[in-house]
Structure 1
Amino acid sequence: MDVETFIEHLCDPADAVDNSLALRRERYEQLHRRFRPSGPSAVEVVDSRVAGVAVRRFCPVGCPAGGVVYLHGGGWNLGSVESHHGITLDLAVRLNREVVSVDYRRLPEVGYATALQDCRRVVSDLDPLAIAGDSAGGRLAIDVACTGFWRGVLGLVYPLVGTPSTTTLGDDAPLLTRREVLTLWETVCDEVPAFPAERPPAEAIEVLAVEHDPLTPSIERAVALWRCASAAVGYRCAPNMVHSSLHAHAELAEMNAAWQDFCHSLGRRLGDK
Structure 2
Amino acid sequence: MATELHPQAEELLHRLSADGVPPLYRQSVADARETFLDLTVPSDHSEPIGRVTDVEIEGPNGTIAMRVYEPEDGGTVEEPRPALLFFHGGGWALGDLETHDIAARALANAAGCVVVSVDYRRAPEAPFPAPLEDCYAATAWLADDPDLELGEDVGIDAEWIAVGGDSAGGTLATGVALLARDRGGPELVRQLLVYPAMDHSFDTDSYTENANGYFLTRSDMEWLWDEYLETDLDGRHPYASPLRADLADLPPATVLTCGFDPLRDEGRAYADRLEAAGVPVNRLEYPDMIHGFLTMLADPEWERAREAVSDLASDLETASGK
Determine whether 1:33 maps to 2:33: no
Highest Rg: 1 or 2? 2
Give 1:9 deviation, angstroms: 4.7
Q: 2:95 aligns with which of 63, 73, 79?
A: 79
Give 1:7 deviation, angstroms: 2.7
Match of 1:160 in 2: 197
Q: How does 1:209-228 map to 2 (within 5 A)?
A: 209-228=257-276
Q: Distance in 1 between the 2:38 and 2:13 partners?
A: 15
Determine whether 1:252 maps to 2:302: yes
Q: Structure 1: any 5+ residue segments left out of the alignment?
A: none
Partner amino acid for 2:313? C
* Structure 1 range deviating more: 191-200 or 87-96: 191-200
Residues 215 and 290, structure 2, Cα contact 8 Å, conserved in 1:
yes
Give TM-score scaled by structure 1 length.
0.89
Q: Distance in 2 between the 1:237 and 1:159 partners?
A: 13
Give 1:167 deviation, angstroms: 4.0
Rate the CA distance shift 1:239–1:19 in 2: closer, same or farther, 3 A. same
Q: Distance in 2 between the 1:47 and 1:222 partners?
A: 33
Residues 295 and 305, structure 2, Cα contact 8 Å, conserved in 1:
no
Residues 107 and 309, structure 2, Cα contact 8 Å, conserved in 1:
no
Rate the CA distance shift 1:137–1:97 in 2: closer, same or farther, 3 A. same
Match of 2:315 in 1: 265
Q: 1:179 aligns with which of 215, 219, 226?
A: 219
Rate the CA distance shift 1:167–1:244 in 2: closer, same or farther, 3 A. closer
RMSD over equivalenced CA pairs, Å? 2.5
* Partner secondary structure for residue 112 of structure 1: coil
* Partner secondary structure for residue 106 of structure 1: coil
Determine whether 1:131 maps to 2:168: no
Partner amino acid for 1:267? E
Partner amino acid for 1:140? L
How many residues are aligned here?
271
Q: Structure 2: any 5+ residue segments left out of the alignment?
A: 1-6, 144-159
Determine whether 1:3 maps to 2:51: no
Rate the CA distance shift 1:267–1:37 in 2: closer, same or farther, 3 A. farther
* Partner secondary structure for residue 129 of structure 2: helix
Rate the CA distance shift 1:185–1:66 in 2: closer, same or farther, 3 A. same
Q: Distance in 2 between the 1:68 and 1:9 partners?
A: 34
Match of 1:54 in 2: 65
Residues 168 and 218, structure 1, Cα contact 8 Å, conserved in 2:
no
Residues 74 and 136, structure 1, Cα contact 8 Å, conserved in 2:
yes
Residues 237 and 258, structure 1, Cα contact 8 Å, conserved in 2:
no
Q: Distance in 2 between the 1:132 and 1:123 partners?
A: 11
Deviations 1:213-261 (A, max 9, x none): 0111121122112112111100011131100101124532334323312
Deviations 1:137-169 (A, max 9, x none): 111111111022232211000001133222465
Residues 239 and 254, structure 1, Cα contact 8 Å, conserved in 2:
no
Q: Distance in 2 between the 1:28 and 1:138 partners?
A: 18
Rate the CA distance shift 1:14–1:256 in 2: closer, same or farther, 3 A. closer
Give 1:100 deviation, angstroms: 0.6
Residues 212 and 240, structure 1, Cα contact 8 Å, conserved in 2:
yes
Partner amino acid for 2:223? T
Q: 1:88 aligns with which of 104, 108, 120?
A: 104
Partner amino acid for 1:45? V
Identity of aligned residues (%): 29
Q: Distance in 2 between the 1:108 and 1:201 partners?
A: 32
Partner amino acid for 1:78? L
* Partner secondary structure for residue 156 of structure 1: strand
Residues 52 and 67, structure 2, Cα contact 8 Å, conserved in 1:
yes
Determine whether 1:43 maps to 2:50: yes
Partner amino acid for 1:238? Y
* Partner secondary structure for residue 283 of structure 2: strand
Residues 198 and 226, structure 1, Cα contact 8 Å, conserved in 2:
no
Residues 240 and 254, structure 1, Cα contact 8 Å, conserved in 2:
no
Partner amino acid for 1:152? V
Give 1:197 deviation, angstroms: 4.4
Give TM-score scaled by structure 2 length.
0.76
